[in-house]
Amino acid sequence: MSLLHHWEHEFDKVKVRLHGLVTRLEMSWKKLVNDLEPEEFQAIVKLLQRGHDQARHVIDHGDLPDDEPAVPWELAHGLSILKIGNVTPLPQKEEELPTRVLKDGTLLGCRKWELLDLLWSEALLKWIENLRHHAPFATNPALVKMDNDVVLAIAGDWGTGPFDSHAPAVAVANQMQLAQADFTIHLGDVYYAGTHSQEDVDMAGWPQGKHGSFTLNSNHEMYSGAHGYFKELAARFPVQQSTSYFALYNDDWLVVGLDSAYASDAMNLYMDGTLNTQQIEWMKTLPKRKKLMVLSHHQGFDISGHHKTALYQPVCDALGREPDYWYWGHLHNGICYAPQGGLHARCAGHGAIPYGTTSELNGHARVLWSETQLAGDEAYPERVLNGYVKVALKGEAIVETFYGEDGSVRWSSSS
């Protein structure tokens, strides 16, 4: 099948799925409108308008102004799908908008997983359906003793499932299996909206660690109110004790996995990391070790490494100090930052979503490495390698190795 016929076939499948999605979205919107206060209704419509306008501006001008905060792309098609106002629909087919790589590496286009993929609207649907209906927050976190010589395999934003024969998630999982890790850790994001069926299908191929596996909550899990996420914990991540935060420790290291999504602002689609009181109080009770590692979905720095996010200081305050290492996802990139103070920060959000070279990081003094190697993917020629990070702890020592989906070493702290 030619690429053109492939994408025509994919678009036909999307249309069938989208028809049911739109019907449900319209019904859910009407139900929510009846429950909303007038100011809440106006705030949501304003958000949808900003999402539409942002997409239009990026299509026409190449990127957002530097001083304008981005709006979640899940909102982009919302106005036209819900028939609010009188807007011209955004592009929906590849021929209307050939793929472009934005400066942050995201792919602007209409194909699967690109920014204007119509099926991101499922995240909008589930957000509307669950705006007032979140799963109960469990407070029985696991505290697991590790060996002093231990291997962790970490990947973020991996939950796409095997969306085609060349799906990066499958290749990344195969490479993670080769690491023979003691623990594997998913930094969150199961697409499109962390529903129970998506969690069940898309996480089916997650590589299990020899002593257990963990998965973090995220903005996409929260679109479904985290109902699917908490069910998945019980089904596939038993060591986690059905709780969205946890800690691992040995004689030298404390590794803390955080839920940065549950308390995040729903009206910003859970895009900014936040801690709730239960976690903060628990973090203060954790055993102290010489070395401290934090794992979260949301990032502690902006993509450039120049500005700390609102999540950074609460994490440091709750733990009593700055971490030595912090791994996050959320941004669909592989990035190693230069040390800042005592912190070594890493973005490992490149587990599966197709993305391109992050040109805004080229030559950046605060970035040791970011992925630029093309994956050789005929269906996504702009795509660079997806991958994961292997972290080997031996006593106080740490060796980090970022692997590509092809098994190549992309960056290592040992070299």
Can you say how many angstroms the Cα of residue 114 is from the centroid of all Cα atoms in its chain? 14
Quick check: 6 pLDDT over 70?
no
Q: In whole angstroms, give the CA distance from residue 18 to residue 21.
A: 5
Q: In whole angstroms, give the CA distance from residue 346 to residue 336.
A: 5
Task: Work out the angle at residue 370's Cα, subtended by the Cα atoms of residues 367 and 371, and round it to the nearest 5 degrees.
Answer: 175
Encoding tokens for residue 151?
């291997």
* 143-164: pLDDT as tens digits: 999 999 999 999 999 999 887 6
Can you say how many angstroms the Cα of residue 12 is from the centroid of all Cα atoms in its chain? 27
pTM of structure? 0.93
* 73-102: pLDDT as tens digits: 999 999 998 888 889 999 999 999 999 999
Stronger pLDDT, 1 or 347, i.e. the higher one:
347
**CA distances (Å), origin 82, targets 30, 49, 128, 243:** 10, 12, 12, 36
Share of the chain above pLDDT 90, in %: 79
- Residue 7: predicted pLDDT: 44
Tell me the angle at which helices 277-284 and 312-319 cross, rounded to the nearest 10 degrees: 40
